[in-house]
Structures are given as C-alpha cells and as structure tokens.
Structure 1
Amino acid sequence: TRSEVVSVVEEDFVEAAKAIGERDSYIVFSEVLPNALAPVIVQATITMAYAILTAAGLSFLGLGVQPPTPAWGLMISGARQYLVQAPWMAVFPGIAIAITVLGFNLFGDGLRDVLDPTLKNDR
C-alpha cells in the first residue's frame, strides 16, 4: 500500500543509497520493493480468509451464490432442516470453512515470519 511504501522510503537505508549515488530504479527495485511487498502479501492472505468467511456467511443467508452452484454456506443452510437427524451435514462444511480459514491465517503468519525484515533479528 501507499503508506507502507512511504514508510520504507523514509528509512535510513534508502537515504544511504541515495547518498552514495545509486540510481532511483535500483533503489526502488532493490530496497523499497522487497521491504514494502512483504506486508502486502501477508495482508492478501489474511484478506483471503476474510473473503471466504464473508462468502460463506452471505451464501448461508441466501445473498451469495445461488443453489446450483456449490458453496459451503449453502451446504450449511440446506442442512438446517436435517440438523437433528443428520448433524454431519452441517458439521463437515463448517469444519471445512474453519480449516481453510485457519490455513490461510497460518500461511499468512508464516509468510510474515519469513518476509518481515524486522523479525529476522529475533530468530
């Protein structure tokens, strides 16, 4: 995002690269972009988890995709009437949503641990 790029441009290592006469294109591609791209990638994985939850919630309420298209929210919504006789019809799509969202969140945390330059000194 713009704020991330602005904060990276204000760092001392960018000023040092300017001071020794590096080209602007070199500074952008070797200093600014690697340091600004990591938070964007991590935010994208967290946003994917949020999008999955939103799509499942909207389709559960009937505001998402329509019935011939399979969706986890539709599966849970359709299983409401069979909840007493066959609870697994609602449980398994719910578990699939939870595992997928947890997977995206763990993937984002792992990427943050690997890509965040401020955490590299803590290892």
Structure 2
Amino acid sequence: FFRLSRGEMISEKTKEYIEAAQALGESDIKIIFKEILPNIVHSILVLATLRVGYFIILEASLSFLGLGIQPPTPAWGSMINSGRAFMLTSWWVSTMPGIALLVLVLSINLLGEGLRDILDPRLKLE
C-alpha cells in the first residue's frame, strides 16, 4: 500500500491544482487532505479489495493443504479437500464450497471496482 500511495502522491503533487493551492497559501496538511487524498483513495481502495480476495484464496489454499484453520472450525479449503475423495459419487461436496469461494472473491473484487468508479474524480469528468 505504501508504494502505491507514494507513487500516486508524487504523481498528484506535480499537478497544476496543487501548485494553485500552494500559491493561495494553503498548508501542506490541508493540501494533502483536501486535494491529494481524495484523488488517490480510489487506487488504494481497489488494491485493498484485491488484497482481501487474495487473502481469502490464500486461506482456502492453506486449509486445502491442511496447513490453515484446523478442524473442527469450518474452512472452504478443508471442505473442498474433504469432498475430493467423493468426486465421482457426490461431486457437490467439493463443488459447492468452490463455487461459493469463487462468488465471494469475485463479488469483493467487483465491489472494489464499483467503489472506484464512484470515487474516482477522473471518471466523474466523463
């Protein structure tokens, strides 16, 4: 998050409206919170939602391998692993947790993209 924030901050800092705010005598803190932060929050939000999806998949993968959350606590990875032996007769035991995992991660990523579309000031201009 730091690299993205720093890169976006440096990029925004060179824009003309920041120079105009400095010429008007705005303090650095006020420029950061009023001008720069609203213009970079969308990028940070998208990265955060992508990371949430990544960590959900990571937990499910570790649970599938037996290295994640230990039984009796339910985890989608361990549910998929436990149904692996019954794939020919009871395919839904593994398939349904996999589909639920897919839908959850996809919906979190789409939520992040939707929030970016709402919050990105560059998209509001179009």
Instruction: Flag whether TM exceeds 0.5 (same fold).
Output: yes
Equivalence map 1:1-123=2 (5 Å): 1-122=5-126
Aligned equivalents of 1:63, 1:117: Cα separation in 2? 43
CA distance in 1, matches of 2:96, 2:53: 18
- The answer for unaligned runs of 5 or more in structure 1 is none
Question: C-alpha separation between the residues in 1 aligned to 2:54 and 2:28?
Answer: 37
TM-score using structure 2 length: 0.90
Q: Deviations over 1:17-65 (max 9, x none)?
A: 0012122222111001111222111110111111111111121112211
Shift of 1:13: 0.9
Superposition deviation, residue 78 in structure 1: 0.5
> 1:67: how far off?
2.0
Once residues 10 and 69 of structure 1 are traced to their aligned partners in structure 2, the CA distance between those partners, rounded to angstroms, is 51
Q: Would you say how many aligned residue pairs link Structure 1 and Structure 2?
A: 122
Once the two structures are aligned, what percentage of the paired residues are identical? 48
Moved more, 40-49 or 58-67: 58-67
- How far the C-alpha of 1:87 sits from its partner, in A, is 0.9
Higher helix share: 2
TM-score, with length taken from structure 1: 0.92
